[in-house]
Structure 1
């Protein structure tokens, strides 16, 4: 039966009316119908798209996306007959990456045949993530979900609270939100609340009048005034002294404040974004952070994932950072496959900031500009590999033998860790390689390097 006759005409009219891309796909991955927005996005005429494989159109792949390890809405919808939503990377007509959110839904034809209806919603492209020569870079599901949250939050004036560990890039995230908002042409003012002493915090934030305190010889505008019309970013909001939280709350609730020593109420038209690495809810329970201030700043709460939860982003981040880190001769740094494997399995307690620091040190140590695993100086040796089943007795023995882990070489730690895994898996090398996220060939090379060929039961 012709593709155009397999769905009702009114459905075609509905999808044509959508501003976003919409495509209907049959059980064999063939495109049955698509609207103009979808065809335009991938540079295909509406008369030519029917009958083409969906994965060839949007993924430029000869096989369905689930065979490439992706969460496939086609597979899910046809298995469950229920809606399914995913984040994907598509390739547009220029073969450029496009981050999209896909809402897949079951659609039934006139004869009861099941089809997949896909609504495609573009989210922030990587080129749109730039801020001051820095970019938020990544394609992992957790990263893309976070980007979509931030892009959605940017369209409102509701206060935002960014949660995340040290070094995940909370200020860069705040700049991303600012640059996606209607205030992007206005100032972005950042305040590190942890670096300002209690004695001058009020003056820094609200400003002061002449004679407000000893040694004050003139009026000074505060940072909140400098952010007029734009965005005020309060980093480490949990460090604001408890006795000053009330004044901050009043300014956020009413939009009015006074300079220190002043009598005139000033109006602040600012979008407030706060960030913290602390558990503010716990601080509220402990009485060190005001509950009313917490609920005021957390209108929208977004958690930025740590680097260990987005390991697939490590390689592109390393590549992007090395393009900016020059060797002594002015060339761009490079990295071996073995060194990349180690970096992809390291825990990064300092997240993006630590990753950049590690690469800078490695380039400096390397005499050729080529980073090998010997060049890497990783500080979190106990967590080089994410392994909750690590042998604690082995770690304790190593501590006695070698002293503190931070004084040991990376190769010593790696050898100990591999030996521990071999014992855990009774010498089953395939399982050890899988847990280390390396190939068996690489594992065999390391076993020979560390003289561990006979550890365990010598299973193949």
Structure 2
């Protein structure tokens, strides 16, 4: 059956890349947008879609991929998938929407496929590329592609160092708000007494030191996306006011009665178990449901070990761009077998240490082992997943206020042992918070959380001691 000129003309009029192929997967037509994006030399015509996009000899569903054509044959309806495609600029995730086209008899004769590269940032470290082709990573990217064009609130949950802010930036970049600001709120580093002012702004004279009116982060994000990082650390008093913002889109500056409106998309992230916090009374259930309209779990690096070689290569280019370093097969095997409790952040730090230890063009197993050895935690300290470093004020004193907790016995929990080790470090440390974080091999934000946990534990111990005291 020959293609009608009207069908070909229709394809050419579409602004997004489109191809048309038959039931045998053979590409019969490709519009100008597709040729510019995927086949500037015109070599795609006459070849199968799976050979062009994936370099597969067999159809996708026979080569370990989800095949939209096979699914459309079964359903007779439009199908949508996310695929990793070969392009003239390298591999890229492409959002595919396939529509069956029926002939006069009602039989499916052709398939029209719309292909849109997923708009994500492109660097595996800070503010960069989302790299991966493992099954766990593909599932993550498929969810990002689904939710990004909508206005739904997204909750990202996963261990520290898994790239939650990077995914938030990808969601923003692929949304209709991409031209507007993405404003990051680091909930873990904001002091409770300053949280409302930072978020909503304040008027002149609202409190001591407020010498001028100041817009808050909500106002700065108007029209764009507000990213609430570590939302589990939001103080209970602020959870109510945040809920009001989410429900009505309104807020008030501190010291003002004027009701302001904000057009926002909320993306939040946490490493905490918010459901457990709700059960314990530490997090509002109504706020959770507002934030978690579309929850996305970010896999730990140990759940996507197949991505380590590609991540390591890209990270090496970032930490040592002038040297063009490579990893030996043995070094790569060692990295692939390591659990990386700090996830991608820890991988980057490890590679930077290994690069400094390496004199030649290739990092060998010996340098990787030495880099692993140098990052072992101090005695008694079990470091959790590391989050990205966030600048913060220095802590001049070596101690945390409050009564001391008795030394943890041998039967103590891991958390108690960790707090005991932190207390010992604080007793001997006389520098800033940044220096202590470097000494412990964690970020300042992680240290801030641990200091808060220690304060809470010491307050609880003091309260228990008071309750147990004879009256």
Range into which the TM-score falls when normalised by the shorter chain:
0.5 to 0.7
Find the counterpart in structure 2 of residue 56 from structure 1: 51
CA distance in 2, matches of 1:230, 1:286: 33
Residue 336 (1) aligns with residue 331 (2)? no
The equivalent of 1:348 in structure 2 is 340
Contact 2:101 2:112 in 1 (8 A): no
Contact 1:139–1:313 (CA under 8 A) maintained in structure 2:
yes
Deviation at 1:54, TM superposition (A): 4.2
Q: Check 1:81–1:255 CA distance in 2 against 1; reply closer, same or farther (3 A cut).
A: closer
- Give the one of 285, 288, 309 matched to 1:291: 285
- Among 302, 316, 323, the residue aligned to 2:317: 323
TM-score (norm 2): 0.65
Q: Which residue of 1 aligns with 2:164?
A: 170
1:173-199 alpha-carbon deviations (Å, 9 max, x no partner): 222222233333333221111111222
Q: In the TM superposition, what is the alpha-carbon distance from 1:227 to its structure 2 partner? A: 2.3
Indicate the SS of the match to 2:287.
helix
Alpha-carbon shift at residue 346 of structure 1 (Å): 2.1
Cα offset, 1:210, TM superposition: 3.2
Aligned length: 368
Does 1:303 pair with 2:297? yes
Of the candidates 132, 141, 144, which is equivalent to residue 147 of structure 1?
141
Give the Cα separation in 1 of the matches to 2:274 and 2:121.
Answer: 33
1:110-259 matches, within 5 Å, as 119=113, 121-124=115-118, 134-259=128-253
CA RMSD of aligned residues (A): 4.2
TM-score, reference length from structure 1: 0.66
- Cα offset for 1:108? 9.9
Are the equivalent residues in 2 in contact too, given 1:102–1:118 (CA < 8 A)? no
Question: How many Å apart are 1:240 and its aligned residue?
Answer: 0.6
Deviations 1:355-400 (A, max 9, x none): 1111111112223353222222346999xxxxxxxxxxxxxxxxxx
Distance in 1 (alpha carbons) for counterparts of 2:84 and 2:74: 24
Residues 1:278 and 2:264 are matched in the alignment: no
Deviation, structure 1 residue 152: 3.7
Task: Give, in whole Å, the separation in 1 of the partners of 2:180 and 2:68.
Answer: 44
Residues 406-445 of structure 1 mapped to structure 2, 5 A cutoff: none
5+ residue gaps, structure 2: 383-471
Gaps (5+ residues) in structure 1? 383-460
